[in-house]
Amino acid sequence: MANSNVVNLYPVPTKGVNDQALTVSNSVVQLSSFDELTRYIVLDVQVADVRVTYDDSAPTASNGHILFAGRSYTWAKETAEAAKFFRDGSADATIHASEFTQ
């Protein structure tokens, strides 16, 4: 049986929207707001690992999920909006994020 909800075969960038580059240091940061047409975010973690939380708690050096440098992730827009980042270690990291409509 074929999946009738196939996505990501041919990703479509959100028109007129620039990518975001977020520096993750030793204070909690979040990505900026996203276009209303955006459905998901593709991001990668560069330079160093980061910690992330998706609830009301703040990430710290010992709290949060670890996102490893050199890996990419695909999130629903709502997940990216809720995400709070903090560096995991002594080196700053960069998160590069792009918006897609489908």
- pTM, whole model, 2 decimals? 0.87
Q: Are 95 and 25 in contact (CB under 8 A)?
A: no
Structure tokens at 26: 């030793």
Whether the pLDDT of residue 2 is over 70: the answer is no
For tokens 């998160």, name the residue.
95
Query: Confidence band (pLDDT; 50, 70, 90) for 6?
Result: low
Full set of structural domains in the chain with CATH: 20-100 (2.60.120.770)
> Tell me: the pLDDT tens digits for 15-62?
999 999 999 999 999 999 999 999 999 999 999 999 999 999 999 999
